[in-house]
Chain A
Amino acid sequence: MPDGRLMLEPSDQRMYGFVRSAWAPLIVVGLLIVLFSLGYGIYTSTLVADYFSNSKAVREAAGPGSQIVNQQVFFESTFAWLPGFKFFGMGLLFAGIVAALAIIILTLKGSGAQIQQMMGAEVRAMPRPLISRAYPWLAILGLLILAVAFGVSIYQAVVAASYWNNSIANTLDPAPAGSQFLAQLSTIESIEAWNVPLKFVGIATLLTSISFALFTIQSVLRGQSMRLLEMVEARGKKPAA
């Protein structure tokens, strides 16, 4: 019995080798990132609870280098980078699903070629619709968008750490217009406003890739049904031996 994988086109064979080895690491690393984010979030919550056990006057008067300010620097910067990291982990999980769907698509294609050969018919490759070419690239694009969003989150965390490493009452609240502190606050808030939607664009791109992979599976199944019918029809037309 011929090996279905060997009957794939060379580009599909290369893709099969890649997705076969990549799907499990993508899912494991994605899951580890999400679990790490959970653990880190729980640890951060203890610091937040400790910080808010102080009165407002004490919190706002605390100066740079004090434990209270250090706590605020830690959790404000964590709030900036941790969601970006978590979304990147989710992105890896979705990319793992796309890779698993690619294995199904390529296995179906290989088995289709195998059936044609076993039935003594000419082995014809299925036409490749645009969506079947697009889904791997959409998965890569989605992951890239999430990586960029994570990179921006790290920059936002650095700015947030620098901004909050000051006394609220003595430095941040009285900051005059055009000061470095207000520029930092403006940067933090504006990044927050566009970077969160960017993460959702990344996730939506990955989900679109999953949808396209599913449409491809459907197209492959329908194409194979049509080819089987063609084979039956061709056999019926053959003169009896």
Chain B
Amino acid sequence: MGTFVFDEQCQRGHHSCTLHHGSSGTYLPVKGPSLMATVTFDKATRLYPGGDRPAVDSLDLDIADGEFLVLVGPSGCGKSTSLRMLAGLEDINGGKIWIGDRDVTNVQPKDRDIAMVFQSYALYPHMTVADNMGFALKIAKVDKSEIRKRVEEAGKILDLTQYLDRKPKALSGGQRQRVAMGRAIVRNPKVFCMDEPLSNLDAKLRVQTRTQIAALQRRLGTTTVYVTHDQVEALTMGDRICVLKDGILQQVGTPRDMYDSPANVFVAGFIGSPAMNLRTFQVGDGHAKVGTVDVTLSREATAALAAEGAKDVVLGFRPESLEPASPNSPSAIPLEVDMIEELGSDAFVFGRVPVSHGGSGIDPVTSADSEIVARIDPRDVPKKGDVVWFSIREGNQHVFSTKTGKRLITTPVTTSASPA
């Protein structure tokens, strides 16, 4: 079943666990034949009553046993709806959802053997840490010694063993958050569902906690579906990332896939910070041109564009893919500096192609502002108003169709900032 189980003989890969139907209607793991906790969205669709377009449209997604999958996308993309469909909080108007080999499409939330993990729980001040973690099992009529066993195991994993018999008062903020996690862990769910669990933490604690959650998930090996709007969170936490937009799956892959081979213009612009530069150029003779800017295209790009019969192209290049170039050298792009952002180890220059070189306002295809961002050496920083020249590093061009927005080359573009 691939979830975390507290029986030491019960190890991943050859579990001896099954479920019995608890008196409260909750499924509780007990020993028995194994079950895989994969999650499958099979053309799952959610259409809200009165809506003209599905909030989630025929989502096909296979999540592996023990995987940490992050659903990410802008507000309204359908990521939370997808998670709530899995949790049983949204009706499914088309397709199916499976957990392991069980079709849960029409199963009530409490019977799905999932745990929603909240951003914060109230801890009960007069109960011990152990009772705070285990009390919900009492409702499910789990045996006292079994509760204690599970709580102790969870305490070990969460590094709370010495606090189990103390009151929450004795704990630090971080430890309290772990108690809250413990409450979900002792239930031995097959899947953890987390909907923006870090959204009410401040920036510093958010970074700490995301590392902890990711590490904890890896120790538990419980299949986890995690929703966030923050692509940095997605890149740092997920085994795989699934990007959604307007209810439609854009791409699913490892953080590296998403960064190095974005499947379309949307994913390219969404993943990475600062965002990838995306500009529309006219195509001619193996070159991409705007005004006086003239960039030589790679052979693969030229071939793909020729096959499409394209007259223009969306070129993408990440801030770290730009390197300083001499003024007016071939393929060089001039930037008039608007702003410099210095981050200590890095500096970024934000600028525009000067009007004298054919720069303009909003890009017609990507609807992005025509601003271009380049990473520069923090020891050699230009001033606002200066014109500096860059060229795109060899092999660092992302090439997209202006008609479909799709990626036209297959070679990944690896940069110094690509996720490991």
Partners in one complex: no
Q: Which residues of A contact B (CB under 8 A)?
A: none
